[in-house]
Chain A
Amino acid sequence: MIGAHSILEDASVLAEQIRSGRLKASEVTATALSKIERLDTRLNCFTATLVDSAKQQAAEIDRKIAAGEDPGPLAGVPFAAKNLFDIAGVTTLAGSTIQAGKPAATRDATAVERLKGAGAVLLGALNMDEYAYGFTTENSHYGATRNPHDLSRVAGGSSGGSAAAVAAGLVPITLGSDTNGSIRVPAAFCGVFGLKPTYGRVSRAGTFPFAESLDHVGPFARSVRDLALAFDVLHGPDPRDPVCSRRPAEPCRQVVEQGADGLRIAVAGGYFANQGQLQVFEPVARAAKALNVSRTVLIPDAGRARAAAYVITACEGGNLHLADLRTRPQDFDPATVERFFAGALLPATWYRHAQRYRSIFREQMRDVFKDVDVRLAPATPCPAITIGQATITLDGVEVASRPNIGIFTQPLSFIGLPIVCAPIFEPGTLPVGIQIIAAPYREAAALRVAHELEARGVAAAHSATLS
């Protein structure tokens, strides 16, 4: 059985046991590494494991504890990062073979640095869609990452390795990135919790960019408590990232325990209540019922917001890779190269229109948030598709799967709203998730609602059983 309940699913408990000396970080690291070795040949989450440095890091945690020093709130907790995060001494692939020829990173990404600084132990780098341009992690160079709940299905993407590694219980915390849904989509498909923080809330320094206007980084975990713990360590100002907010960190870990009391919650209607398969709306209804929410709010013009995000992504992505498109197009993943070419050719006026429209949509959403704190919406229009599946049927219409998996996530990251993706599904069924959407910088509100749903037994990252 993949991911049978194990100590590797709960970072908070692990850290507590390691800090109190009941468990040794070295033993936990060894257990995790052997589990990865045993299971990952079938899942394909990891593109690199860092056995020696992980063992050294764990030994150092154990030494600190023996010496009575504080190793941090994530003491000895194993974690791994999507392979677009810089890891000192390792070449940052960003899912490509083009980058594989580049020198190794000389310094850890800020997010990696912060988790390590809190005592977490880095075990390796995780698979993704090439240059993050995809929602499925079907990478032609490094293979598809498989969904631990059904190995014939995709893990979602682009942070597919990050979601699947947590779902399979290989590590309790991973790092991913989200430009149009790349944390929320794989979290929903793999049935784990994911947090896409407010744009600029968590430093992107030392990560390989995709579309810089929209790039976010954030954590995956098996519980809201762990998600909040990771977020607390990760967020806050960083001069290395020019868009990182100067706003001081606001720890959430304790606050989430308050639950949803006092928060004004509504279900997102209109755009977010159409174009999806039935089984993705059911969890939204279940969550609403559990939270005693009957209100629906319309999010005006979400379709336009999605269009604008699409245009910005295509233009920025195409421009970023222009030099390699000119000289070595054959080295790109066939799944991305034509989209990068097309993106490089889009008219500047489209791009400007999209960037200016961002100001309009932000204002509209600020209005909506005047009397609602949190909104609920489906994360994806369907559960995980099978590997190689080219189309999905939405509202009776067969559409290309790749550009449509992100229809519910894309309009929201467009203006950088903080969103928790919470898994809501029955054990033994294909996971689906909901987006818990808060106003900018109010990650705590989204996490509180997620915690309430978890406490009520509605949201849970059920263990994956091998089918």
Chain B
Amino acid sequence: MINDPVIVAQITELHQRYEEALVSNDVATLQELFWDSSLALRFGVNENLYGAEQIGEFRKNRSPVDLRREVSNLRIVTFGDDCAIVTLEFLRNTQGIPRGGRQSQVWRKFVDGWRIVSAHVSFMAESYMHQAAAYIGLPIPSQYRDGVRLNLERSAMIARPLLEFALRDDIESAAVFEP
């Protein structure tokens, strides 16, 4: 049976436990809910982890900074009484700059309870505007983003002929410009 309400309720509760453990960096709970097997898998934002050992090692060394995230579009699909898929989108602030991402998990019920057997988390591909703004610590309020992007595109178009001009190595700009 797909989406048996009893199973969905179980997974919803487990997801909440896992999410709280994630943002509070509660390593023990995170470990408990992940499949303790060399076949477990976790694709992180910057790491591909194969097996419970690699996953555990990563958890222990993870920076606890900026883990808070705002979850949206949480979806749970269950198959029978022992298999479930959890997907969600999230918004996480890194040094004050919000970044959107998504996460998917496969849950499987074993004799001793439900475990995540496979997970994948990633950020949305970022535009130059987002990246550059993050690097200089400049949050751009959402209402300006389209306009800023438009201005960047316009600047790129205007700058193109300039950038195509090959400057000799000995050409310097003047410290004090004399016309």
Contacts and interface: CB of A to CB of B under 8 A. Distances in A.
Interface of A: 198-200, 213, 242-243, 245, 301, 303-304, 306-308, 310-311, 314, 322, 325-326, 329-330, 337-339, 341-347, 350, 352-360, 362, 403, 415-417, 440-441
A357 B179 contact: no
Contact of B177 (A301, A347, A352, A416): A416
Contacts of A343: 151, 155
B149 to A, nearest CB: 8
Contact of B139 (A326, A355, A440): A326
Contact of A308 (B133, B140, B144, B162): B162
A304 B162 CA distance: 5
Given A303-B161, A307-B161, A345 B133 contact: yes
Interface stretch (B49-57, B101-109, B164-172): B164-172
A394 to B, nearest CB: 15
Nearest to A244: B176
B133 to A, nearest CB: 6
A140 to B, nearest CB: 14
Contacts of B158: 306-307, 310-311, 403
Contacts of B172: 356, 359
Contacts of B138: 322, 325-326, 341, 344-345
Nearest to A354: B162
B143 to A, nearest CB: 9
B178 A245 contact: yes
The 8 closest A-B pairs by CB, nearest first: A338-B147, A342-B151, A355-B173, A416-B179, A440-B179, A307-B162, A345-B132, A341-B148
Contacts of B139: 326
Given A307-B160, A342-B152, A350-B162, 18 more contacts: A199-B179, A200-B179, A242-B176, A304-B162, A307-B162, A310-B158, A311-B158, A311-B162, A326-B137, A326-B138, A341-B138, A342-B148, A342-B151, A346-B155, A357-B167, A358-B174, A416-B177, A440-B178
A337 B148 CA distance: 8
Contacts of B147: 337-338, 341
21 contacts: A242-B176, A243-B176, A303-B161, A306-B158, A307-B158, A307-B161, A307-B162, A326-B139, A329-B144, A337-B144, A341-B148, A342-B155, A343-B151, A345-B132, A347-B132, A353-B162, A356-B172, A356-B173, A358-B177, A403-B154, A403-B158
A213 B177 contact: yes
